[in-house]
Amino acid sequence: MLVKFFATYRQITGCKTCDVPAPGSVLALMEDLSERWPEFRDLILNEDGTDKGDDVIIMVNGRHIEHLDGVATKLTEQDYVAITPLVAGG
């Protein structure tokens, strides 16, 4: 499953994308990524690790997880996920 990283998260991962085996859910993916890159933990997960952090945007197949099932959104190998810190422009 493809995971894309945007903005300053690329400085943590050192890559723009990575391929990972599809975990059961978005939350499981967040946990996997936090194990791989411990700096991620406090950025993408909330304090008790039960939900995403306030300042991260997570999209599955281009849809914000807020409009899917949140961090419980199921993932398959065909899905792609994008993770970005909260940024803005215009």
Residue ranges in contact with another protein by CB under 8 A: 4, 6-8, 10, 16, 55, 57, 59, 61-64, 66-67, 82, 84-90
Q: Which is nearer to another protein, 16 or 35 (CB)?
A: 16
Sign of the torsion angle spanned by Cα atoms 85, 57, 20, 6: negative
Q: Tell me the two tokens of residue 33.
A: 């990524």
Interatomic CA distance for residues 27 and 8, integer angstroms: 21
Interatomic CA distance for residues 85 and 54, integer angstroms: 9
**DSSP symbol at 56:** E
Which residues sit opposite 82 in a β-bridge?
Answer: 4, 59
Q: Which is nearer to another protein, 36 or 63 (CB)?
A: 63
Q: Which is nearer to another protein, 30 or 60 (CB)?
A: 60
Q: Which is nearer to another protein, 35 or 67 (CB)?
A: 67
Kindly state the smallest distance separating residue 81's Cβ from another protein, in Å: 10
Kindly state the smallest distance separating residue 85's Cβ from another protein, in Å: 6
